[in-house]
Amino acid sequence: MSTPATRRSSIGDVARLAGVSVGTVSNVLNRPDRVAESTRERVLEAIRRLAFVPNASARQLRAGTITTVGAIVLDIRNPFFTEVARGIEDRLAAADHTLMLASSDDDREREARYLRLFEEHGVSGLLVVPTGDDLGPLLGLAARGVHTVLLDRPSPTDALSSVAVDDVAGGLQAGEHLLGLGHRSILMLNGPHAIRPCRDRLTGLRRAVERRGLDPDAVVREVPVPTLDAGGAAAAFAPLLEGDRVPTAVFCVNDLVAIGVQREIRRRRPDLIGSIAIVGYDDIEIAAELATPLTSVRQPAHALGYRAAEILLARAAADAPVAEHQVFQPELVVRSSSVPA
Amino acid sequence: MSTPATRRSSIGDVARLAGVSVGTVSNVLNRPDRVAESTRERVLEAIRRLAFVPNASARQLRAGTITTVGAIVLDIRNPFFTEVARGIEDRLAAADHTLMLASSDDDREREARYLRLFEEHGVSGLLVVPTGDDLGPLLGLAARGVHTVLLDRPSPTDALSSVAVDDVAGGLQAGEHLLGLGHRSILMLNGPHAIRPCRDRLTGLRRAVERRGLDPDAVVREVPVPTLDAGGAAAAFAPLLEGDRVPTAVFCVNDLVAIGVQREIRRRRPDLIGSIAIVGYDDIEIAAELATPLTSVRQPAHALGYRAAEILLARAAADAPVAEHQVFQPELVVRSSSVPA
DNA sequence: CCGCCGTCATGAACCGTTTCAGCACGCTTG
DNA sequence: CAAGCGTGCTGAAACGGTTCATGACGGCGG
C-alpha cells in the first residue's frame, strides 16, 4: 500500500539505522549471545522497522550451508508419492530443514531439469525416485558431493544410499494369493520395465507361479500400460474386454491402474463385475472405499520417505561416505476385489 | 567414484583451464553469440571436463533474476490441490520457470515458515492458498515487491491478484439439489470458518434454503470437522450415527470429508447405506469410483492453477501493479450418492 | 601510411552476506 | 602502575557469479 515496490533492504541498511557495523547485525542474526543486550535490541528494532528479510543467496554464497532438500518423485498425483513426500517432510521439519518437491512425470528430461536446478541451488541433499535405470546423472551428482538417496529403489552401488520396498516379495504375495484362489491365468498390467519396481513385481509374480510347479510363461500374460494412472490403465485394458479371452485375474502394478481397470469393467462390461479378480499395489487410502474394495499390496510409504530423509540428514551431518541401504517389506491386504476363480 | 568429494568447480576454474578470463566464460554461458566460435568451443570443453555447474546463489545475488516460483497449498494429500499444482506447473514449464511446492497443513506457523523461506530465496512470485483470513503477511510480502497471487480465494484488495471459484454458487447448487430431492434437514460437515470457502459454501447452502422460502436455521445444521480429510470427517461424523436424530442429508465441504462419511456409515451403520444423501465438493477423480459414486460440486482445479501461474508471469514480466482477479464457476455433478428423501 | 572501426577478450566493480583478525576499553591482578 | 585479559564491536576479505568500460588487434578505405 504505502511502501512503493523498492529494493529489498539489506543488512547494511539495518546497520546504518541502528548505528552499528554490518558485522554486528550479522552477529545479532546468527550468534545473538555475542552481542550486548542493548545493541541487540537496537538492531532488532531496526530490523523490524525496515521489515528486513535476509537474502538467502548471499548467505548461502558466503556460508555455503543450506537447509533445503530437494525431492523428485515420479508423479505427484499418485497418493503413494504424496504420502512418501509427507514422510520426508515430517522428518525434515524435525531437523529444521525444508523440502522442495518436484514431479518428473517419469520423463527423463524433466528429471534432468530438476536435478540441475537443485544442484545449481546447492541443496544439501537430494531424494530421487529415478525415472529409469541409468543412474549416471545421479552418480555424477554424488561424485560432485551432493548427498543423494534413492527413493523406492534399491541401490546397486555404495555411491548412493537407498530406501526401498521389496517388490519381488510384493509380487510374490500377490501371485500366491491369486493362485491360492484358484486362478491359473493371470494378467499383469505393468508399467515400463525401465522402472525397476515394475520389473520386480512381475518377477515376484512369476516366482509364485514357479513355486506351484507351473510354467510362468503359460500362466502370466503381461500387458503394458502407457501411463501409470487410471486413464492410461483404462485405455490399455479396454481392448482386452472385447475379445473372447477376457482375463479372469488381473494384477495391477499400482492402485491407480487397478482403479482404471475397475472403471473400465463397470463401463463396458458391467456383467463381469465381481467375476474378475483384481489385485492392486500400494494400498492407497481410498483402496478400501472403492466400489469394489481393492485387494492390494501395502507399502510403508510414509516410513519410506521418513527413513530416506533420515539417512540423508545423517550423511550430510557426518559427511561420511558410507552409504546406507534399507529395504522394507510389503504386506498383502485382502479385500473383496480378489474373487476366487 | 573416482573424483573425491571436493569443492564445486567455479567459473574461475573453467576460465583457467580454457585459458580465458572469467568474463568470457560468463559470456559463453549467457550470450554465446558475443564469443568467437573457437573460444566458445574451448570454454565448453573445459566446462564439460570439469563438470561445471553454475552456482545459482552467486548468479542470483548479482543478477537479481530468478525463474523459480513458490506455491503453498493447504494439503498436498488432497487431490484437489495436487491438481491445482499440476496446473501451475504446466503453465510455468511453458515459460521455463520451475515450481517449488509446499504444504501448510492449514497451520499458520508452517505457512509463515514457508513464506519466509520463499522470500529469503527471492522467488519471482508466490501462489498461496492462505490458511486464514489474515492477509497481513501476504500484504507485507506484496508491499516488499514479491508478486503474489491468492489461490482458491477471492482477493479483498487490489494489492493481491487472485484466482478463485465461486463457492457461494457451489453451495447454492448443492443446496438446491438436496432440496429438490425433498430433503428438509441438511447437515453440513464444515471446516473452520477461518477458511473462506468453508464459510461461502455454507452461505450458498443457506441461500438455497431461503430461496425456497424456508428457514435456514431450521433446515441447516453445521458440524465442524477437525481436519479436512477422511479421518477427521469420520471422527466427527461417528457420534451423529449413534443418536436418534441420524442425519438424512449431508453436504460435505470437500470430497475427502464425504469419503470419511461414507466410510463411517459403512462401518457403523451398514443398514443405512443408501438412505443418507451425500454431496461432496471438488469432484476429485475417484469420486466416480467410490462404493457409492459421489455427487459432487466440480471445481476447475487444473485451470485454477494454470490461470494463477499465468497471472503471476504476466505481472512479473510487466512489473505492472495492476491486480487481476478471476472467478471460475463450479458445476454440480450428480451421481448416486445423493438419494431422494 | 594513417585513421577508423568492428570484433573479442579482459579485468575490476559489484551483489549481500559471513567470518575473522584486530582494536578499544575497562577491569583485575601482581 | 604495568601487564594481562575478557568483552563487544569494527572493518575488510571472501564467496562465485554478471556486467560494463576499456583496450588489443586486424582490416579497410582514403
* Residue A149 and residue A177 in one domain: no
Reply yes or no on whether the pLDDT at B319 is more than 80.
no
The answer as to whether A2 is a domain residue is no
* Residue A155 and residue A187 in one domain: no
Q: What is the mean pLDDT of residues B61-89?
A: 92
Chain B window 224-243: residues with CB closer than 7 Å to nucleic chain D are: none
Please state the domain count of chain A.
Answer: 3
The answer as to whether B6 is a domain residue is no
Residues of chain B contacting residue A100, judged by C-beta atoms under 8 Å apart: 100-102
The answer as to whether A59 is a domain residue is no
Residues of chain B contacting residue A139, judged by C-beta atoms under 8 Å apart: 1
* Residue A84 and residue A42 in one domain: no
**d(C-alpha A111, C-alpha A105), whole Å:** 8
The answer as to whether A307 is a domain residue is yes
Q: What is the mean pLDDT of residues B178-189?
A: 98
The CATH number assigned to the domain holding A151 equals 3.40.50.2300
* Residue B123 and residue B194 in one domain: no
Q: What local confidence, expressed as pLDDT, does residue B64 receive? A: 84
Q: Kindly tell me the sign of the dihedral angle through the C-alpha atoms of A84, A90, A93, A95.
A: negative
Cell triple for residue A301? 510409504
Shortest-distance nucleotide from B23 CA to C1'? C10
* Residue A45 and residue A148 in one domain: no
Nearest residue to B166 via CA among B154, B150, B149: B154
- Write the CA distances from A145 to A57, A87, B10, B11, B57, integer angstroms: 20, 24, 14, 18, 17
Cell triple for residue B337? 450418492
* Residue A210 and residue A307 in one domain: no
Chain B window 21-50: residues with CB closer than 7 Å to nucleic chain D are: 22-23, 25-27, 29-30
- Cβ of A269: how many Cβ atoms within 10 Å? 15
By residue count, chain A amounts to 341
Q: Which nucleotides of C are covered by protein (CB under 7 A)?
A: 7-12, 14-21
> Cβ separation of B57 and A53 shorter than 8 Å?
no
pTM: 0.91
* Residue A250 and residue A319 in one domain: no
The answer as to whether A334 is a domain residue is no
Q: Which of B286, B292, B294, B315 is the best mutation test for A, with the most CBs of A within 10 A?
A: B286
**d(C-alpha B319, C-alpha B301), whole Å:** 27
The owner of cell 464457476 is B329
Residues of chain B contacting residue A6, judged by C-beta atoms under 8 Å apart: 145
The answer as to whether B323 is a domain residue is yes
Cα torsion A265, A270, A275, A276 to 10°: value is 0
**d(C-alpha A16, C-alpha A19), whole Å:** 5
The answer as to whether B341 is a domain residue is no
Q: Would you give per-residue pLDDT tens digits along chain A (341 residues)?
A: 333 446 789 999 999 999 999 999 999 999 999 999 999 999 999 999 999 999 999 999 998 878 889 999 999 999 999 999 999 999 998 998 988 898 999 999 999 999 999 999 899 899 999 998 999 999 999 888 899 999 999 999 998 999 999 999 999 999 999 999 999 999 999 999 999 999 999 999 999 999 999 999 999 999 999 999 999 999 999 999 988 889 999 999 999 999 999 999 999 999 999 999 999 999 999 999 999 999 999 999 999 999 999 999 998 887 666 889 999 999 999 999 999 99
Burial of B314 from C-beta contacts in 10 A (0-12 / 13-18 / 19+): middle
The CATH number assigned to the domain holding A17 equals 1.10.260.40
Residue A34 contacts strand C, CB under 7 A: no
Q: What is the 3-state secondary structure (H, E, C) of B245-267?
A: CCCCEEEECCHHHHHHHHHHHHH
* Residue B140 and residue B31 in one domain: no
The answer as to whether B125 is a domain residue is yes
* Residue A100 and residue A184 in one domain: no
* Residue B34 and residue B108 in one domain: no
Element (H, E) at B163: strand B161-165
Which range marks the domain in which residue A173 is found?
167-299
Distance from CA of A212 to the nearest CA of B (A): 35
* Residue A235 and residue A293 in one domain: yes
Residues of chain B contacting residue A82, judged by C-beta atoms under 8 Å apart: 76-77, 82
Residue A32 contacts strand C, CB under 7 A: no
Which of helix, strand or coil describes residue A100?
Answer: strand
Reply yes or no on whether the pLDDT at B320 is more than 80.
no
* Residue A190 and residue A236 in one domain: yes
